Amino acid sequence: MAADRRAKAATLDLRRRLLSSSCRLFFPENPVKIIRGQGQYLYDEQGREYLDCINNVAHVGHCHPTVVQAAHEQNLVLNTNSRYLHDNIVDYAQRLSETLPEKLSVFYFLNSGSEANDLALRLARQYTGHQDVVVLDHAYHGHLSSLIDISPYKFRNLDGQKAPLPDTYRGPYREDHPDPAGAYASEVKHVISSAQKKGRKIAAFFAESLPSVSGQIIPPAGYFSQVAEHIRRAGGLFVADEIQVGFGRVGKHFWAFQLEGEDFVPDIVTMGKSIGNGHPVACLATTQAVSRAFEATGVEYFNTFGGNPVSCAVGLAVLDVLKTEQLQAHATNVGSFLMEHLSQQKAKHPIIGDVRGTGLFIGVDLIKDETLRTPATEEAEYLVSRLKENYILLSTDGPGRNILKFKPPMCFSLDNAQHVVAKLDDILTDMEEKVRSCETLRIKHPPGSTGPGCRAAAGSRPSNLEQGNLVIKSAP
């Protein structure tokens, strides 16, 4: 515990010296040193309490006592690998199978989401005998070499099988399109045909069941079923990445892919993050047929830590807590309340272009102007930093980094929702006020100069006003 007593500046200094700067910090100018977590709250070294609106890993709440106790009890008895018979791994597979369609009946246990997606890639290639993968633009599926290659989010130059995000707010087919699901699915079909014309063969389509890193996107109903038809016709498999969005987060269903309807069943589902509430656990579920094709290679699948008795005890405890605390229903209630209140803010503040989501998966799309829906990137960053000053942790994502992402621990309460919305309202009102005073000042100032109100609004960044909108725009 000595490390907790180190001054924050000393920790930062050591980190800068010893860790790669590729491992980034939240709020790099003034990072937060967190030393304790409980439920939906994080505490810094001064004991200040932050409301966590973004940690979808601490799914049932930071340091949930049931989960911690389960790990501790199993640690006291045994932790070894999956080459020995043990009840935890089979109990866990059985409990997970109860949440999934019958067809997804074979389980592999691993340590991270990246490992699960990497195995999905291997299984799909083995089953189909094909190599290529179709992904959505701006997707992220993991940090391994195999996955960076299929993650446009990190590797923007990805050339090839990348279909447009099914984003009905800012994509090519919007809310006024008569059939956005069909139109976006046709784009996938087009990507498949172009690859085939070059002699390529498709092994899989990978997508998050609700694209999260791409900006909390809700694909139009029917999209994934049509994509699955196109992909299977090309001989490929459908891989649903549930690493951010599974385990009841979407409220109405346990898995986000189930939003597509009962008949829709992916060939592979990958799970991570929330599955172990912070303990490194991951899982892949697939069909007997896909698994058998992999077994036929004769290659053993061995993962030193995957499926160990402690990890499985943790996974089982997470499922228990979800059930006993009825967190899926809670996500529906709190999520609807939050959506409703955020929508009221949209009516009040024109910077809010769109509020979308389901359960405790919500995105607030900030825009500079209503017609072009230009991403309000700097404003989003400014808002997040002001929220942090108010002890609320929120983040942005999406290609324009202008979508506020709500993905809190599932115990996030109605009071928490009310509190965040009130603060958001205060900050946006204050921003609008500053922009207004900026306009007044600009009239008095010679053209090109900006007044002090503008500078204050953008947190020392030079700013200007655009078209009377409540826009604080950074100078290039």
Ligand X SMILES: Cc1ncc(COP(=O)(O)O)c(C=O)c1O
Binding site residues, ligand X, CB under 6 A: 112-114, 117, 140-143, 208, 213, 241, 243-244, 272
- In angstroms, what is the minimal distance from the CB of 57 to ligand X? 9
Q: Smaller CB distance to ligand X: residue 113 or 335?
A: 113
Q: Smaller CB distance to ligand X: residue 12 or 144?
A: 144
Structure tokens that stand for 204 in this block? 């899989």
- In angstroms, what is the minimal distance from the CB of 414 to ligand X? 27
Q: Smaller CB distance to ligand X: residue 398 or 451?
A: 398
Nearest-angstrom CA–CA distance, 40 and 27:
19
Nearest residue by C-beta to ligand X? 113
Q: Smaller CB distance to ligand X: residue 271 or 428?
A: 271
Nearest-angstrom CA–CA distance, 123 and 193:
23
Q: What length is written for the chain?
A: 476
- In angstroms, what is the minimal distance from the CB of 112 to ligand X? 4
Q: Smaller CB distance to ligand X: residue 119 or 427?
A: 119
- Do 448 and 374 touch, CB atoms closer than 8 A? no
Q: Is 308 left (phi over 0), alpha (psi -120 to 50) or beta?
A: beta
- Do 42 and 58 touch, CB atoms closer than 8 A? no
Those residues with Cβ within 8 angstroms of residue 203's Cβ, 6 or more apart along the chain or in another chain: 121, 124, 125, 128, 130, 131, 132, 133, 236, 237
- In angstroms, what is the minimal distance from the CB of 144 to ligand X? 8
Q: Smaller CB distance to ligand X: residue 126 or 214?
A: 214
Those residues with Cβ within 8 angstroms of residue 421's Cβ, 6 or more apart along the chain or in another chain: 338, 341, 342, 344, 345
* Cα 405 versus chain centre, distance: 8
Q: Is 27 exposed, middle or buried (0-12, 13-18, 19+ CB in 10 A)?
A: exposed
Nearest-angstrom CA–CA distance, 349 and 334:
22
Q: Smaller CB distance to ligand X: residue 67 or 454?
A: 67
Instruction: Decide: helix, strand or coil at residue 19.
Output: coil
Nearest-angstrom CA–CA distance, 232 and 237:
6
Instruction: Decide: helix, strand or coil at residue 255.
Output: coil
- In angstroms, what is the minimal distance from the CB of 262 to ligand X? 24
Q: Smaller CB distance to ligand X: residue 161 or 464?
A: 161
- In angstroms, what is the minimal distance from the CB of 221 to ligand X? 21
Nearest-angstrom CA–CA distance, 109 and 271:
10
- In angstroms, what is the minimal distance from the CB of 116 to ligand X? 8
Q: Smaller CB distance to ligand X: residue 54 or 428?
A: 54
Q: Smaller CB distance to ligand X: residue 208 or 381?
A: 208
Q: Which helix (H) or strand (E) holds 125?
A: helix 113-128
Those residues with Cβ within 8 angstroms of residue 473's Cβ, 6 or more apart along the chain or in another chain: 368, 378, 463, 464, 465, 466
Q: Which of 109, 130, 200, 124 is nearest to 159 (CA)?
A: 200
Phi, psi dihedrals of residue 364, rounded to the nearest 5°: -120, 115
- In angstroms, what is the minimal distance from the CB of 301 to ligand X? 18
- In angstroms, what is the minimal distance from the CB of 114 to ligand X? 3
Q: Which of 410, 413, 414, 259 is nearest to 327 (CA)?
A: 410
- In angstroms, what is the minimal distance from the CB of 271 to ligand X? 10
